[in-house]
Amino acid sequence: MTEIRIERATLTDVEAMKGILDHFAAEGQLLARSRLDLYEGIRDFWVAREGDALVGVAALHVCWIDLGEVRSLAVRPDRQGRGAGRRLVDACLAEARDLGLRRLFALTYRPGFFSKVGFREVPKSGLPHKVWQVCIQCVKFPDCDEVAMMREMDP
Query: Measured between alpha carbons, how far is 124 from 75 in angstroms, rounded to an integer?
Result: 25
Domains of the chain as residue ranges with CATH: 4-152 (3.40.630.30)
Q: Model confidence over 2-55: pLDDT tens digits?
A: 799 999 999 999 999 999 999 999 998 988 899 999 999 999 999 999 999 999
Helices (DSSP H) in 30-70: which residue ranges? 35-40
Overall pTM > 0.85: yes
- For residue 137, pLDDT over 70 is answered with no
What gap in Å lies between CA 132 and CA 90, rounded to an integer?
A: 24
Indicate the length of the chain as a whole number. Answer: 155
Q: What is the largest CA-CA distance in the chain?
A: 44
- In this prediction, residues 71-86 reach a mean pLDDT of 96
